[in-house]
Amino acid sequence: MRELKESYDIIVVGAGPGGSCSAYASSKLGAKTLLVEKSQEIGEPVRCAEAIPGLENLGIELDSSFIRSEVNGGYIFTPSGRKILVESDKAKGYVVERKIFDKYLAIRAANAGAKVAVKSNVVGLERDGDEWLVEIEYLGEIYKVRSKIVIAADGVESNIAEYAGLKSKKKPLEVCSCAEFEMVNVELIDKNKLEFYFGNEIAKGGYAWIFPKGDAANVGLGVRDKKKKAINYLYDFLENELVRDRLKNATPIELKVGGAPVSGPIEKTYTDGLLVVGDAAGQISPLTGGGIYLAMDCGLIAGEVAGEAIKNKDWSEEFLKTYEERWKEKYYNMLMNHLKYRKVLEKLSDDEIEELAEVIGEKLEDIDLKKFAKKILMRPKLLKYFKDFVF
């Protein structure tokens, strides 16, 4: 492929939302950029429930080709069926067709000037002076392609950052195992609401979901459990009394499996000539497993910083540090708070989940943190989990 016979300012590894947004931003600044994807088709296979909040804030033109549903909130269900309404501006968003959305983002990068190489697997990185030789396997041949900066946007199974000496590998229980059927003929409670189901029998260490998606719905779950597989939790969920009547005529049109890293951000996301973005960097909510928005926004920041580095002829660790400063300022506290909440949630028994829901009430937005803290003080079973929280 002729794209693999040139040298580049920036090579972005992985054409997920993080990689394509990085390539878009660096190309816009005039950096010669190559976006490399190991799959033969960008956007495939899909491993996602496809819900994204606030796409408008990222400068995305809302295109009917990929928007499948508009959502304005959701319902959280306890194991007994108690329902909490979540309705705020933050909960507004879309359910997209990722096969089309991911391609749209890659096309946007290409239109900004990036070259794209598909079915091209990055299998190694070698330092050559202050540049990289990026080893790319394409149709049985290895190409060594020169680049000043590499952006590792290679997702949950990331090893590109490890080649450069950073720690991005996740341990098994740091990743939520997910299984999901896209189904048709699902009876939805509300076609504009996401549904979340909690409980140790339903999804240990995670939650189950039903997300409206146009004529279909994504019905899935994520778990952290060494003993029972996500797919077996999913079969049981389809028969759970909370949902089985509404799913009785439903039938799958796609099975999606994958992992969501939920242990928080990795320790360091930059080094000489390299940045780490998206799931590879742990830029995904440890509480919800939502990572598309974060991967995109952090990808845009990475692309801008890398583009500036090329303009300044300085891609040292010292210069690239700005990337980590910028994304942390926006998201680090939120990610660490979500990690804290997730650690509490995973310890709760089903009875304690019911009790917590009772304290929260019928609407999440109605929570007054001071009143919540007072109520928790009266509940010794819950107090032990919240004693280190500052309200």
Ligand X SMILES: Cc1cc2nc3c(=O)[nH]c(=O)nc-3n(C[C@H](O)[C@H](O)[C@H](O)COP(=O)(O)OP(=O)(O)OC[C@H]3O[C@@H](n4cnc5c(N)ncnc54)[C@H](O)[C@@H]3O)c2cc1C
Residue 241: CB minimum distance to ligand X, A: 24
C-beta separation of 275 from 302 below 8 A:
yes
- Per-residue contact flags (x/-) with ligand X for residues 50 to 89, judged by CB under 6 A: xxx-------------------------------------
Mask 292-321, x = binds ligand X (CB under 6 A)? xx-x--------------------------
Q: Which of residues 294 and 310 has its CB atom nearest to ligand X in the complex?
A: 294
Position among 55, 284, 356, 376 found at the interface with ligand X (CB under 6 A): 284
Which range of residues in 15-23, 266-274, 321-329, 347-355 is near ligand X by CB under 6 A?
A: 15-23
**Residue 9, interface with ligand X (CB under 6 A)?**
no
Residues 156-175 that bind ligand X (CB under 6 A): none
Q: Report residue 105 CA to chain centroid gap.
A: 15
- Residue 259 as a binder of ligand X (CB under 6 A): the answer is yes
Q: Is 344 among the annotated ligand-binding positions?
A: no
If binding is defined by CB under 6 A, does position 17 make contact with ligand X?
A: yes
Binding site: what residues are annotated? 18, 37, 48-49, 51, 98, 122, 279, 291-292, 369
Site for ligand X, rule CB under 6 A: 13-19, 36-39, 47-52, 121-122, 153-155, 178, 180, 220, 256, 258-260, 278-280, 284, 289-293, 295
